[in-house]
Amino acid sequence: MSPKPTTSAQRPRRKLSLRSIARWISLALALAWTLAALTLVAARWIDPPTTAVHMQRRVQAWLHHKPYNARYTFVPLTQISPNLQHAVIAAEDARFYQHHGFDWHAIDLAAHEDMEGGRTHGGSTLTQQLVKNLFFGTNRSILRKGVETTLVPIAELVLGKRRILELYLNVVEWGPGIYGADAACRFYYKTSARTIGRQPSARLAAILPAPLHRRPDRMNSYSAVILRRMAQMGW
């Protein structure tokens, strides 16, 4: 017996179903974006209890049947040495206080280096990295980058530079299961973020591009570059 042909009454029903799915997906994305934006507003006063990167690492450990012992300590910016603040800015975002969330000069430089076959500089600002850490984890995609771009101006407007720096230093990953400047200082140097010196600060800042694979005691050449940048910036 041959199958019944699809009637004209059935076709609109299928179209309507696909349209409904698309509408629900759009609504879910809009709600997720709104929640992220509201979270940024709340982060002006409330310290985040966790981040997307924290949760990603927890899931990865669970999938690989490994223990997950995270060190995450949030301290005020006043409890983080200017040495470490300046070292991180010099290493990760030298124009932090000049741009409004995007460093177009750094982005252009990174694009040219990609075209020439090798990148030596990143184009992401501290604000972009903060948004990525809070909401997206370490995975890369064009969609993630697009949504991140819409949230960065909100972070700049609502949080301000001081709070952005405070949040970044406290939530960023400094090694396996190590989150926050104070946890990093205590783990690597047995001291607090408040008392960390200039040289160890440069070494800590040097591991941020690849915290799971770098160690401060091996960052001789890059930490020297960071120290020179700090001196050039008047720090």
Asked if the structure places residue 99 within a domain, the reply is yes
Rounded Cα distance, 62 and 59, in Å? 5
Asked if the structure places residue 190 within a domain, the reply is yes
Position 15 pLDDT exceeds 60: no
Across the beta sheet with 173-175, the strand order is: 71-72, 178-179, 173-175
Asked if the structure places residue 20 within a domain, the reply is yes
Q: In the predicted model, what is the mean pLDDT of residues 168-182? A: 96
Asked if the structure places residue 2 within a domain, the reply is no
Asked if the structure places residue 3 within a domain, the reply is no
Position 6 pLDDT exceeds 90: no
Q: Is 98 helix (H, G, I), strand (E, B) or coil?
A: coil
Residue 112 banded pLDDT, cuts 50, 70, 90:
very low
Asked if the structure places residue 130 within a domain, the reply is yes
161 or 143: whose pLDDT is higher? 161
Residue 29 banded pLDDT, cuts 50, 70, 90:
confident
Residue 87 banded pLDDT, cuts 50, 70, 90:
very high
* Domains identified in the chain, total number: 1
**Residue 67: which of 158, 155, 177, 153 has the closest Cα?**
177
Kindly report the CATH number assigned to the domain that includes residue 90: 1.10.3810.10
> What would the pLDDT profile of 43-68 be if each residue is shown by its tens digit?
999 999 999 999 999 999 999 988 88
- Sorted by sequence, the CB contacts under 8 Å of residue 111 that are 6+ apart come out as 123
Q: Which stretches of the chain are assigned E, i.e. beta strand?
A: 71-72, 173-175, 178-179
Domain that holds residue 217: 13-232
Asked if the structure places residue 144 within a domain, the reply is yes
